[in-house]
Amino acid sequence: MWKAANAAGYHTLVSRRAYSTSTDKGSKVEESSQADRHVSTQPRTAPSPSENHLQTSLPHLTSSGAAHMVSVASKPSTERTAIATGTVRFSNPTPLSLIHAASNKKGDVLSVSRIAGIMAAKHTPTLIPLCHPIALTHVGVTLHVVLPGNGGEARDFGSIVVESKVSCTGQTGVEMEALTSVMGSALSVVDMCKAVDKGISIGDVRVVLKEGGRSGTWREEGWESRGEE
């Protein structure tokens, strides 16, 4: 009886489940249940190309739930780009003062961390088990210093925003390479500054742009590149 009751509840839930007309964050949801008191008489619009390619399952899992590397043999090679970003926040004013004075004992924090981000992108398949080895055509990493008072936080001692752009011509995307690049660069900043700031944090690491492939272009709403330094 428990299974039957839950199955019935599940089918009721499915019949009332909403659909989204947009893949953007915060997109409005329209109810399609006939049980709703106010039923829209407007015809539904045809799904956009991007909606036709929405992923409904985890591609790295087989039907039995085992992890595997997804085959991309049937995919055409196209130009693909991904941009990821993340922020390193300081908990005291010393790191930024040393960076500006170029007096950090370990060297040039920004230059070393930029190279660390490039190297990290190239090592992504050795760090992330199910990533394909990809011949990257470009890795560009920029580190932007945000001065205290410009971060919009109560205890703001400045930060560094890392932005990584990775490109390839291939059969799979480079989102993971861009994310790994950001993390490698950010961790290098932490390593070079941890002697004078034990409370450094890394946050807001995410993909903000992807181009190419079957799903086309996706961009985080409101995001703008800080550009080259």
Query: What span, in angstroms and rounded, lies between the C-alpha atoms of 155 and 228?
Result: 28
191 is catalytic: yes
The structure tokens listed for 208 are 């903000």
Given 36, 108, 191, 197, the catalytic residue:
191
- Core vs surface per residue 13-22: b (16+ CB within 10 A) or e: eeeeeeeeee
- Relative to beta strand 136-146, strand 201-211 is unpaired
Residues 76, 123, 98, 95: is their CA dihedral positive or negative? positive
Query: What span, in angstroms and rounded, lies between the C-alpha atoms of 31 and 197?
Result: 50
Under DSSP, the state recorded for 87 is E
Q: Helix, strand, or coil here: 184?
A: helix
- Core vs surface per residue 74-88: b (16+ CB within 10 A) or e: eeeeeebbbbbbbbb
Q: Which residues are catalytic?
A: 191
